[in-house]
């Protein structure tokens, strides 16, 4: 199976640069995973496809303003630190730019000196361990100085940080938003709950590896990045109860999907707990828990388009994407959505 098997042509102007004013007014393509048939809706009409007793799984991770722009001490040129993983109260694993100049021992300043940092280690993959020095509460300092780490294909500056955040975001730790969840409003979630759908939360902190291109020719040669997840006892019980009752488990986003599939045993029972997952889902994978998926439209040749192809079949997915291009859907993080059921 070749990575090029998951390619498609996308006009650049269909890459959404800004979020819509109303989250739930984005478009929704509904794809039948068995037949490949598609229907076109507005996202708030997703309620038509949700049944009482279904379990809707959302990822309540919260994106941190992980992009810090500063200067190297003694120099005027701009430098950038992108926080990936917190290692301690002061230390983070991070990506830096320009990499050649930010070697071990390099010292950085952000803002008017409220935040300083030192590169403590250069890791084999090029990531840095960066130690920060500051007064006060870290979260407040970061919120004041940091920017949202938007994907590289979004070139517009985000006016409102909250628009790259789901309305149910709770646990800080992501370097990217679980973007399928951006379509939900509090009102829509209340409407779904009133219909008798069980809404349950899991957490997966999304890493920037989700945007990294697959460089290998063979799909099976790709090594997935790892991400931290947590499934509470309450969430595991809700998902297992739905399965036991013959109801569907519908995941909002590939991150929720990877979480429940990572936490499940071969019999399809989800176990509470937390840890790192590097699960790689591509055609041939047998889903243990997931029955349906709400997701955005993904990059060509990405691990995410491979995941949706595992659920609905590569031919059905690529045909649906061709239809989406023809119908001028908006693509990627701030774009439109798809329900695969």
Residue 75 has a pLDDT of: 85
Match 């803002």 to its residue by tokens. Answer: 111
Instruction: Tell me what pLDDT residue 157 has.
Output: 86
CB 327, CB 338: distance < 8 Å = no
pLDDT of residue 76 exceeding 90, the answer is no
Mean per-residue pLDDT, 130-146: 94
Q: Which of 40-49, 119-128, 247-256 is the least confident region?
A: 119-128
Q: 223 φ, ψ to 5°?
A: -105, 120
CA distances from 62 to 18, 159, 163 (A): 19, 18, 12
pLDDT at 77: 85
Given the structure tokens 């590169």, which residue do they identify?
Answer: 119
Q: Once rounded to an integer, what is the mean pLDDT over residues 327-336?
A: 98
Average pLDDT of the residues in 227-240 = 97
Task: Give the number of other Cβ atoms within 10 Å of residue 87's Cβ.
Answer: 14
CB 329 within 8 A of CB 29: yes
Residue 98: pLDDT band by 50, 70, 90 thresholds? confident
pTM above 0.95, yes or no: no
- High-pLDDT (> 70) share of the chain, %: 100
Average model confidence (pLDDT) across the chain: 95
Please state the domain extents for the chain.
Answer: 3-63+161-340, 67-145
> What pLDDT score was predicted for residue 159?
86
* Bond preceding residue 98 cis, omega within 30 of 0: yes
Q: Of 177, 277, 293, nearest to 231 (Cα)?
A: 277
pLDDT in tens, 181-227: 999 999 999 999 999 999 999 999 998 777 778 889 999 999 898 89
- Helix (H) / strand (E) containing 304: helix 303-312
Burial of 126 (0-12, 13-18, 19+ CB in 10 A): exposed
**Would you state the pLDDT for residue 87?**
92
**Per-residue model confidence as pLDDT tens digits over 276-328:** 999 999 999 999 999 999 999 999 999 999 999 999 999 999 999 999 999 99
Task: Outline where DSSP puts E strands in the chain.
Answer: 27-31, 38-42, 55-59, 61-63, 67-72, 78-86, 91-97, 107-110, 115-122, 128-134, 171-174, 198-204, 227-231, 249-252, 273-277, 292-296, 337-340
Vertex 84 angle, CA 144 and 231, to 5°: 105
Q: Domain 3-63+161-340, what architecture?
A: 3-Layer(aba) Sandwich (3.40)
| Cis peptide bond prior to 54, omega within 30° of 0 | no
Could you tell me which residues come within 8 angstroms of residue 169 by beta carbon, excluding any fewer than 6 positions away?
A: 60, 61, 62, 63
Mean pLDDT over residues 13-26, rounded?
Answer: 97
**Class of the CATH-defined domain 67-145:** mainly beta
Give the pLDDT of residue 67.
Answer: 93
| pLDDT of res. 213 | 80
């Amino acid at each position: 199976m070749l990575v090029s098997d998951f390619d498609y042509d996308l006009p650049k102007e269909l890459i959404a640069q800004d979020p819509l004013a109303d989250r739930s007014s984005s478009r929704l393509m509904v794809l039948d995973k068995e037949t490949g048939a598609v229907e076109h809706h507005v996202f708030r009409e997703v309620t038509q496809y949700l049944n009482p007793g279904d379990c809707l799984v959302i990822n309540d991770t919260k994106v941190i303003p992980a992009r810090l722009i500063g200067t190297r001490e003694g120099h005027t040129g701009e430098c950038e630190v992108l926080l990936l993983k917190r290692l301690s109260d002061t230390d983070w694993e991070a990506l830096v730019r320009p990499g050649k100049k930010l070697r071990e021992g390099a010292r950085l300043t952000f803002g008017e000196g409220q935040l300083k940092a030192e590169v403590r280690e250069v890791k084999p993959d090029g990531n840095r361990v960066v130690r920060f020095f500051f007064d006060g509460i870290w979260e407040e300092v970061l919120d004041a100085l940091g920017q949202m780490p938007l994907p590289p294909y979004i070139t517009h500056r985000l006016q409102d940080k909250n628009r790259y955040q789901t309305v149910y975001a709770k646990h800080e730790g992501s370097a990217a938003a679980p973007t399928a969840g951006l379509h939900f409003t509090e009102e829509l979630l209340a409407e779904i709950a009133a219909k008798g759908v069980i809404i349950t939360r899991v957490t997966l902190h999304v890493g920037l590896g989700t945007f990294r291109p697959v460089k290998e020719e063979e799909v099976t040669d790709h090594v997935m990045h790892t991400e931290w997840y947590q499934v509470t006892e309450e969430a595991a019980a809700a998902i297992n109860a739905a399965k036991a009752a013959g109801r569907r488990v519908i995941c909002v986003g590939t991150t929720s999907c990877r979480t429940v599939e990572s936490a499940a045993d071969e019999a399809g029972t989800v176990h509470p707990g937390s840890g790192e997952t590097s699960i790689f889902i591509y055609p041939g994978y047998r889903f243990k828990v997931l029955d349906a998926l709400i997701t955005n439209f993904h990059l060509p040749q990405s691990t995410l388009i491979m995941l949706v192809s595992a659920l609905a079949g590569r031919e059905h997915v690529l045909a649906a994407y061709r239809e989406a291009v023809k119908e001028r859907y908006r693509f990627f993080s701030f774009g439109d959505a798809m329900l695969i059921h």
